[in-house]
DNA sequence: ATGGCCGGGAACCCCGGA
């Protein structure tokens, strides 16, 4: 089984990349973030033509999340049930017996911003909801754009980034609290190395210079952990014309 | 690294992103 996550920074612009990637990679589930479109604009027909079902929780201009799968998509949940939120950041479903949660975590903008407090509150609500989800679903994967680089290995220049969002102690603590629920950062099951990133700024030739952050993650429950075969960051889409600033992260699991 | 790049939407600038 292959599970993936990709912040596409506008599905309207990135649909050709997504369709090409689906055909080439044939995932069992692809989670998208920042579709930036209302449900009425979501390309259900084009995906169906490529052999994929999809569910979407979208809004105009900002946010928006989706799950794409060739399989039946069951028991769909939109939004955090325990947090009143205008922003469309959560969609979840059960696919082939695995609970798949797609999350677009708040950016937070700056540590002294109201948006940062919203980020911490949102992460706290996510934490409590995942506790409930784990009680109901032994096999669970939490995929998405976390907007958190878990430690200094996940940041190209920790000194330059000190005091910024995405690397702060508060955000990293929230990430560790998710792991403490019995979740594992699947990428770290296979590599302890620094320098592997999933996002690079559009400016300053950051991708070419590998000045990035690892902020897109696939967390897996204890029941899935022994099934993990590989977790890889696919840098190919970041090299295309008009790329998203994020690139896909892909987890391969044994079937049982 | 923080001006520099993107995308969206409303108007050719501003906001938000990371």
Q: Where are the domains of chain A?
A: 2-253
Task: Out of A28, A79, A104, A216, pick the active-site residue.
Answer: A104
Query: pLDDT tens-digit profile of A241-255?
Result: 999 999 999 999 999
pTM, two decimal places: 0.97
How far apart (Å, rounded) are the C-alpha atoms in residues A105 and A33? 9
Q: Average pLDDT, stretch A186-195?
A: 98
> With 0-12 CB in 10 A as exposed, 13-18 as middle and 19+ as buried, what is A248?
buried
Q: What dihedral do alpha carbons A191, A252, A90, A15 form, nearest 10°?
A: 110
Assess whether pLDDT exceeds 80 at residue A161.
Answer: yes
Angle, nearest 10°, between helix axes A169-179 and A114-136? 0
- What pLDDT is stored for residue A79 in this prediction? 97
How far apart (Å, rounded) are the C-alpha atoms in residues A206 and A52? 33
Whether the CB-CB separation of A170 and A120 falls below 8 Å is answered with yes
Any strand B atom closer than 7 Å to A118 CB = no
Assess whether pLDDT exceeds 90 at residue A80.
Answer: yes
Count of all residues that appear for chain A in the document:
256
Any strand B atom closer than 7 Å to A239 CB = no
Query: pLDDT tens-digit profile of A14-59?
Result: 999 999 999 999 999 999 999 999 999 999 999 999 999 999 999 9
| DSSP bridge partners of A104 | A145
How far apart (Å, rounded) are the C-alpha atoms in residues A63 and A9? 9
- What pLDDT is stored for residue A256 in this prediction? 73
Query: pLDDT tens-digit profile of A104-146?
Result: 999 999 999 999 999 999 999 999 999 999 999 999 999 999 9
At A172, give phi and psi (nearest 5°): -65, -35
Contacts of A38 (CB under 8 A, 6+ apart): A58, A59, A60
In whole angstroms, B17 C1' to A116 CA is 14
Residue A145: active-site member = yes
| Domain A2-253: homologous superfamily in CATH | Endonuclease/exonuclease/phosphatase (3.60.10.10)
Task: Out of A145, A154, A216, A245, pick the active-site residue.
Answer: A145
Nucleotide with minimal C1' distance from the CA of A205 is B5
Any strand B atom closer than 7 Å to A211 CB = yes
Residue A114: active-site member = no
**Which residues of chain A between 66 and 105 are close to nucleic strand B, CB under 7 A?**
none
Whether the CB-CB separation of A141 and A98 falls below 8 Å is answered with yes
């Amino acid at each position: 089984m292959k599970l993936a996550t990709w912040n596409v920074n506008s599905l309207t612009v990135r649909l050709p990349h997504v369709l090409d990637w689906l055909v080439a990679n044939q995932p069992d589930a692809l989670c998208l973030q920042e579709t930036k479109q209302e449900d009425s604009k979501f390309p259900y027909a084009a995906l169906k033509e490529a052999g994929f079902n999809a569910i979407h929780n979208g809004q105009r201009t900002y946010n928006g999340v989706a799950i794409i799968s060739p399989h039946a998509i069951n028991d769909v949940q939109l939004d955090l049930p325990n947090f009143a939120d205008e922003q469309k950041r959560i969609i979840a479903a059960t696919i082939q017996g695995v609970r798949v949660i797609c999350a677009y975590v708040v950016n937070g903008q700056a540590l002294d911003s109201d948006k940062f407090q919203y980020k911490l509150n949102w992460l706290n609500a996510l934490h409590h909801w995942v506790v409930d989800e784990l009680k109901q679903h032994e096999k669970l994967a939490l995929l998405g754009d976390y907007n958190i680089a878990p430690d200094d290995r996940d940041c190209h220049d920790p000194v330059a980034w000190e005091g910024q969002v995405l690397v702060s102690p508060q955000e990293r603590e929230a990430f560790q609290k998710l792991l403490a629920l019995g979740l594992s950062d699947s990428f770290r099951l296979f590599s302890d190395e620094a320098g592997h990133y999933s996002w690079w700024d559009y400016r300053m030739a950051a991708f070419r210079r590998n000045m990035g952050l690892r902020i897109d993650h696939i967390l897996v429950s204890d029941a899935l952990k022994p099934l993990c075969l590989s977790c890889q960051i696919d840098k190919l889409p970041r090299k295309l014309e008009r790329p998203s600033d994020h690139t896909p992260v892909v987890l391969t699991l044994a079937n049982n």
